[in-house]
Each structure stands twice: as structure tokens, then as C-alpha cells.
Chain A
Amino acid sequence: MQHDLVHAIKSNPKYHELVSKRNTFKWTLTIIMLVIYCGFILLIAFNKELLAQPVFAGPPPSIVTLGIPIGVGVIVSAFVLTGIYIHRANAVFDKLTREIKEEVL
């Protein structure tokens, strides 16, 4: 990429808006995913009993344990997080990118 084009983009305020908004957002989502997953792994490592507890204490107690909705929940959360990212990227980041391109190209 030519030096002047890089300079023009770098000095465009919308570029800074795009970069800071997207960076904050994507690193936040990354940390949320890591916390969810590491939390799950740490539960398995340190508190197996909690995951083996019935969802409904009963009587009679349910066969389905807390571990099942939690495990399936981690899977679903991964999908939901990708959906949230797409939604905001479509609405905000792509619009900013288009505007930057229109202004500098």
C-alpha cells in the first residue's frame, strides 16, 4: 500500500473510531469466551460434585445433572457469541469501513 494512502487512512477519525470500537469489542468477546470455557474446565477440575448434582433436587431428584445444561450451555454460548459479533460487525464496523473507503479512495 502506498505511503500517502496509509497516511490518509491513519489520519481519518473514522479509522480510529473503527479500530478502537472493534478492538474493544472483539477482545471483550474473546475474554468472555475464555472465562466461560476456563470456568467450565476449572469446575471439572475442582468441583466435580457440583456438576454431578441433579438439576432438580426432587424428590425424586432429576437424572439430568447440572453438568449437562452447563456443558451444552458452553457450546451454545460459543455459537451465540459468534452471532453477536456478526450482528455488530454488520451494523457498525462494515458501515465505518465503507465510509472510510469512500473518503480516502
Chain B
Amino acid sequence: MSFCRYALPILLLLILAGGGVLAAGDPGGATPRESLNIPAIIMFLVFVAGTLGITYWAAQRTKTAKDFYTAGGGITGFQNGLAIAGDYMSAASFLGISGLVFLNGYDGLIYSVGFLVGWPIIMFLIAEQLRNLGKYTYADVVSYRFQRVPMRTLAATAALVVVVLYLIAQMVGAGKLIEILFGLPYNYAVIIVGILIIMYVTFGGMLATTWVQIIKAILLLSGATVIAFGALYMASDGSMNPEVMFEKATDIHDKGLAIMGPGTLVVSPIEAISLGLALMFGTAGLPHILMRFFTVGNAIEARKSVFYATGWIGYFYILTFLMGFSAIVLLTGNPEYAADPGAATWTIKGGQNMAAVNLAHAVGGNLLLGFISAVAFATILAVVAGLTLAGASAISHDLYANVIAHGRIDEQQEVRMSKIATITLGVIAMLLGIVFEQQNVAFLVGLAFAVAASANFPILLMSIYYGKMTTRGAMLGGWLGLVSATLFVLLGPTVWQEILGFAEPIFPYKNPALFSMTVAFLGIWIGSVLDNSENARQEHAAFVAQDVRCQTGIGAEGAASH
């Protein structure tokens, strides 16, 4: 088995690397959290061993392109719901939202709500339709009745832009987080993440990626449940009454009662709506999420997955809200969780994003801290693996097989190409992670959502519902959406003013989605209406058959029989 040949030496190397770091462990570390965290490392190694076992098992079952991209289409709705929730509950949302609540109180909830409300829209408008029309990627749907080369190029480019932006943010976050949690040097962490995800995806394809994601989702949900309810118990003097906890939190927090209502996060109505649109419709344009709908057997399972995913994600966000508030009560002022115990004013150890991690220690000591650190690492691995697979599919299935080779290559060549693409993307992710170490990457996730909402989502939605759309219209709107979202972010307050240091931003809003989505939809409409070509007439005519397949699932890709 090729898997054994490569996997075992690489695993050994990894463990040796870990051992080397153990040996070189920083004995005089300034803060305890930056020294080696042994329980966390042991639990993480158990996770890695388990997931590599799964990858080995999955490698035996991954032979065809369908296996590689969609796990043979044999994932159930319940499993896929957990996997989708796993893709969505990144370390950034776990640590970031609880940290935001810890810092500002109520404002953190506004983000959670925005991230969640995209899911029902996905269920009502695109989940079943995607499953009925597509095969491996959302570009299949977008190019269903249109000209293959330009549509695939657009869809794959937009997918890759989103994937790469998201990857950079994840890799930099991973390096920093692992540095704090495990005491491993930044570059080591980035390289370990890169090597592991290359192994998961290259050998085990979508089957391994899905199961890694499911296991991580279960671990994260159970860990967060223990922390949130344990902390609520402690912060409410054993009464489990949130009112008691909120009362204490408002007594302790500098902002007092203000943390119980919306604060400064949302200033202008335009920013608020624009952010809301990006969060809501960006979700419906994330390629690694859309790809999950092809792993289930049919449209019924596809919509079931969204139901479960919405439940898990919503529950998870309520937990992060509880965690943020109980962290205010249990951590604030405690010298054990101070960045500098000698300082006059108390600040939290590791920064606001470490609120949930410190809280784990307050609730369950080193063991729970180790567990949640291992889960956070596992979370990054799983999310990066999903992103890499989505990016690799855009390269191999959309760009290589359909654009460059015009569909004239066999399946084995395509699978080989997707593995090459996976390794390439994994290496690029490591390099970008190292290059961007010192950069402010927080805006990249916002940009990824803006692009997803302004390019991927409009062409996907309109190709399903707008019978009069033509290739020319999709080109105009899709590219305009992609370019305008990117330009508006670069010229806006976050990049132009805060990062590049210019006095005044050229584009006045931080969140461009309201404008870039409008541009995209208008572009699609105008481009389609003005298109009188013979091609446009054929595309209008082809809508009838597409719509029938979309509505009934007759002719849709079935599940693999094995």
C-alpha cells in the first residue's frame, strides 16, 4: 500500500520532530502557558494517531474520482450535518466569539446570529438543488447549461480566492495558537499542520476529511458543553441560573451594565446590513461547505444535513456566549490568568482570544485545558483539510479536467491531478503561513466572506433560478462581484487606513457586501438582458430541462453502489 509506504515514515518524522522540541523545551519560559503542555500534546498525538488510522481505512476505499471528491456519495444526512458543523465551527469562531463576548459582552452574540442565519437560506434555496444538479463541485452546477470554459474558470477562480484567503487566516491563526497552547515554535506548528492535512487529503480524500471533521465536531461540542455548563455552575454559585452569572459579570466588567446590550460593534445601519449580508450569503458561497452536499446520497439527505448542522452550530454559538460571560466572572482579576500578575491593571493571559482556553483551566484544571488545546489544534487541522480538498477539486476537476483538458482525460488522471494539487496547495499554505506570520490577517476572513457572497453566491443562485441568465451575464456579474469585493476591502478603512496607514479610506465602509453584491446581481441581469447571441437562446432553452432535474432529482448523480 502506498499509504503505508509514505505515512509511517512521515508519522515517525513528526513524532521525532515533536521529541526534538520536547528535548529543546524552553525551561525558563516566561509564562507557564508558553512552556510545553504535556497533557495537551499527549491528547493531540492520540487524535493524530486515530485520524491517521481513519486515513488508512479511507485510503483502501478511495479508488475513483467520485470516492476522492465525495466519499462515494455514501455519507448520511446526520453524519454530513456534523461534518458541516465541523467545517463551520473553526478555532476562530470558538476562540474568537467567546473572546469577543468576554471583551464586549452582548456584541459577540451579533456575530453568532449573523453566522447562523445563512443556514436556513442554504436549506431553502440551494442545498437540494446543488445535490440534484452537481457532481463534485459547485462549479458543476454553475456550468450546467452554460459555456464550460468561461464558467468553470470563473467559478474555480472565485473558489480558489476564497480558499486561499481562508487558508492564510487559518494557518497564521494555527501557528500562533499552537505556539501559545503547546509551546511549539510557530514554524513547526505551521509545518505539522501542512504535512498532516496533505496526508489526510491525498490518501484518504473526502472520506478521511469527512470523518476527521465529524470526530473533531463531536470533541469540540462535548468539550465546549463541559466548559460552558461547568463554568455556568461555578459562576452562578451552583444555582445554574444565568441571571446570577450575568449579575456578577456586570458587577465585575469595566463596562458594567453596558455589556448586556449592543455596544460599539455596529455603528452605522449600512455597515450593519452590509456585514449581515456578507455573513449570511457568504456562508452559501464557501466552496468547502458547498462541496459537502455532494457527499450524501440524494436531495433528502442534503436537506437533512442542513437541519442537523443548523442545530449543532446554533447550540455551539449559545455555548460560546455562555463561556464568554462566565469567563468575565471567573477569570477577571484572578492573578492565575493574568498576562502579567505584577501589572497594575489586569489583562487576560494570552489575549482576549484565550478566554475560552483559560476558562477551561478554571473549570477542569490542566486536564481540561489539555483536552481543549488538543481539540483546538484538531479543529484547525480539520478545517484546513476541508479547505485544501475544496481548493484541490477546483484545480483538478474544474480547471484541469474541464478547462485545460476539455473533459478528455480519464478518471485516474484526474485523481492523480487532484493529489498533486493537494500537495501543492498544502505546501503553498505552509509557505503563506510562514510569510504572513507578522501580518494582520484578521481582515482576510471578512474578505473571504465578502468574495463568497459577491461572486460565488450570485452566480450559483442565479444559475439555479434565473432562466434568462446567459454565460455573458454570469461573466459580467461574477467577475465584477469578485473584483469589487476585493477592491472595496483593499480601499476601505480596514486595509487602506489601518494597515497601509493612509489618512482617509477611499471606500468608506468596512463591509463591502451590500455594494459588491448589488454590483454582481446587476451585472448578471444587465449582461444577460443585453445578450442576444445564438448561444444565449440555447442557454434559455436548456433551462427547462435543468429545472426539471433540479425540481425532481431525475437524472441526478446517484450514490456509489459499493
Contacts and interface: CB of A to CB of B under 8 A. Distances in A.
Interface of A: 1, 3, 5-6, 9-10, 15, 18-19, 22, 26-27, 29-30, 33-34, 36-38, 40-42, 44-46, 48-49, 51-52, 62-65, 67-68, 71-72, 74-76, 78-79, 81-83, 85-86, 89-90, 94, 97, 100-101, 104-105
B16 interface: no
A82 B261 contact: no
Nearest to B268: A45
B260 A52 contact: yes
A6 B545 contact: yes
Contacts of B276: 37-38, 41
Interface string B250-271: 1000000110111000101100
Given A5-B554, A44-B266, A64-B243, A30 B106 contact: no
Interface of B: 106, 109-110, 112-114, 116-117, 119-121, 123-125, 242-243, 246-247, 250, 257-258, 260-262, 266, 268-269, 272-273, 276, 280, 300, 303-304, 306-307, 310-311, 314, 317-318, 321, 544-545, 548-549, 551-555
Contacts, number: 152
A74 B552 CA distance: 32
B117 A78 contact: yes
Contact of A72 (B273, B300, B306, B318): B318
B269 A19 contact: no
Given A6-B545, A38-B276, A75 B113 contact: yes
B551 A101 contact: no
A73 to B, nearest CB: 10
A26 B124 contact: yes
Given A26-B124, A40-B113, A86 B269 contact: no
Complex A-B, nearest 8 residue pairs according to Cβ-Cβ distance, in ascending order: A52-B261, A45-B269, A26-B124, A63-B246, A71-B109, A65-B260, A37-B117, A45-B272
Contacts of B246: 63-64
Nearest to A87: B307
B554 A82 contact: no
B522 to A, nearest CB: 19
Contacts of A51: 106, 261-262
Nearest to A75: B314
Contact of B548 (A1, A27, A49, A65): A1
A10 B552 contact: no
A19 B276 CA distance: 30
Contact of B314 (A3, A29, A76): A76
B123 A85 contact: yes
A79 B272 contact: no
A30 B125 contact: yes
A20 to B, nearest CB: 11
A9 B552 contact: yes
Contact of A33 (B117, B272, B306, B321): B117
A9 B124 contact: no
Contact of B554 (A9, A18, A48, A86): A9
Contacts of A18: 551-552
A71 B106 contact: yes
Most chain B CB within a 10 A radius of its CB, from A3, A30, A71: A71
B552 A101 contact: yes
Contacts of B318: 72, 75
A104 B555 CA distance: 13
Contact of B124 (A29, A46, A97, A105): A29
Given A71-B110, A86-B307, A48 B262 contact: yes
A62 B269 CA distance: 28
Contacts of A83: 307
Contact of A67 (B106, B272, B551): B106
B269 A42 contact: yes
A75 B307 contact: no
Contact of A48 (B257, B261, B303): B261
A51 to B, nearest CB: 5
A6 to B, nearest CB: 5
B125 A26 contact: yes
10 contacts: A1-B548, A6-B548, A52-B262, A64-B243, A68-B109, A71-B113, A78-B119, A82-B311, A85-B123, A86-B304
Contacts of A26: 124-125
Most chain B CB within a 10 A radius of its CB, from A46, A68, A83: A68
Given A30-B125, A72-B109, 5 more contacts: A15-B548, A27-B124, A65-B260, A78-B314, A82-B123
B298 to A, nearest CB: 10
Contacts of B269: 41-42, 45-46
A82 B549 contact: no
B551 A68 contact: no
B296 to A, nearest CB: 14
A5 B554 CA distance: 10
